[in-house]
């Protein structure tokens, strides 16, 4: 995705109730960006359980948001909204490799994933599957924590995205990441503000090609945490450009 809105969004899901907030974000972004939405479940080989009825229900959520009629067919919903919906179950021993192969095969250019809060010991002993998947696919990723609501209301589809905090690192130009973030944010809310923040002693200069970057001094993590926009539950989802970080 080179400065354009995402055309092919992949939402890996474990089919749990907790993952519905991440699904709502993927669906809202797909609708506003007129993208193809892949709802993907990775299952172990030779799984006997039929999971199709457990997939998130696209039409039901769109109807609850009053974007389509409750009686609209799948084809009618896709035609009315300009979005194509795909539900896929893929067998793989590794969720990371399964998602990565699917993203590459279907040219996915945005991942929307749920993550779970982990203790310090868990973070030390085991890497997050969501973050490992984002690094492996080399595409931008939106992470939604299980205990946070994010900026899309699951029940109404309403968007409450007013300010996006984008940390800037001094040695890597943030221009590509800024374009990705701004494109998506302004599709969801044309008035959304992108706050670029560098924590350090001097303001990095990238040939004058960027909008304003705010400079603050102090401990990096704490300074970003104090500056970040607060969501409905006191936190904020993260939109990461892993193409640069990997």
Which element (helix H / strand E) includes 168?
A: none
Lowest mean pLDDT among 46-55, 68-77, 125-134: 46-55
218 Rama sector, left if φ>0, alpha if ψ -120 to 50, beta otherwise:
left
Domain boundaries of the chain, sorted by first residue? 8-145, 163-230
Nearest to 150 by CA among 54, 234, 38, 44: 234
pLDDT of residue 123: 46
Q: Which residue has the higher pLDDT, 123 or 246?
A: 123
Q: Which pLDDT tens digit goes with each residue over 194-215?
A: 999 999 998 888 876 667 889 9
Q: What is residue 15's predicted lDDT score, i.e. its pLDDT?
A: 87
pLDDT digits (tens, 9 = 90+) for 165-175: 999 998 888 88
Assigned CATH topology for domain 8-145: Rossmann fold (3.40.50)
- From the list 113, 244, 62, 112, the residue with the least C-alpha distance to 166 is 244
Q: Looking at residue 229, what DSSP letter applies?
A: P
Whole-number percent of the chain with pLDDT over 90: 49
Burial class (CB in 10 A: 0-12, 13-18, 19+), 2: exposed
Take residue 66 and report the two structure tokens written for it.
Answer: 């009053």
Q: Measuring CA to CA, how many Å separate 220 from each of 143, 169, 203, 226?
A: 20, 11, 14, 10
Of the listed ranges 11-20, 36-45, 129-138, 231-240, the one predicted with least confidence: 231-240
Q: Which residue has the tokens 């040219």?
A: 107
């Amino acid at each position: 995705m080179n400065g354009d809105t995402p055309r092919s969004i992949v939402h890996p899901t474990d089919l749990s109730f907790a993952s519905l907030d991440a699904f709502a974000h993927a669906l809202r972004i797909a609708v506003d960006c007129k993208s193809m939405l892949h709802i993907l479940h990775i299952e172990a080989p030779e799984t006997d359980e039929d999971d199709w009825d457990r997939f998130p229900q696209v039409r039901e959520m769109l109807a609850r948001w009053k974007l389509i009629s409750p009686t609209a067919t799948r084809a009618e919903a896709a035609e009315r909204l300009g979005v194509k919906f795909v539900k896929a179950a893929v067998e793989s021993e590794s969720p990371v490799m399964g998602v990565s192969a699917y993203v590459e095969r279907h040219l996915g250019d945005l991942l929307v994933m749920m993550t779970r809060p982990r203790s310090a010991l868990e973070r030390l002993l085991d890497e997050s599957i969501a973050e490992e998947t984002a690094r492996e696919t080399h595409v931008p990723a939106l992470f939604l924590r299980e205990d946070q609501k994010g900026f899309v209301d699951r029940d109404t589809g309403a968007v409450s995205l007013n300010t996006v905090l984008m940390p800037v690192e001094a040695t890597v130009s943030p221009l590509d990441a800024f374009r990705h973030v701004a494109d998506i944010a302004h599709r969801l809310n044309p008035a959304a503000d992108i706050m670029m923040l560098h924590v350090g002693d001097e303001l990095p200069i990238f040939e004058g090609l960027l909008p304003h970057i705010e400079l603050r001094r102090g401990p990096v993590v704490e300074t970003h945490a104090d500056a970040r926009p607060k969501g409905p539950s006191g936190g904020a989802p993260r939109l990461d450009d892993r193409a640069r970080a990997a």
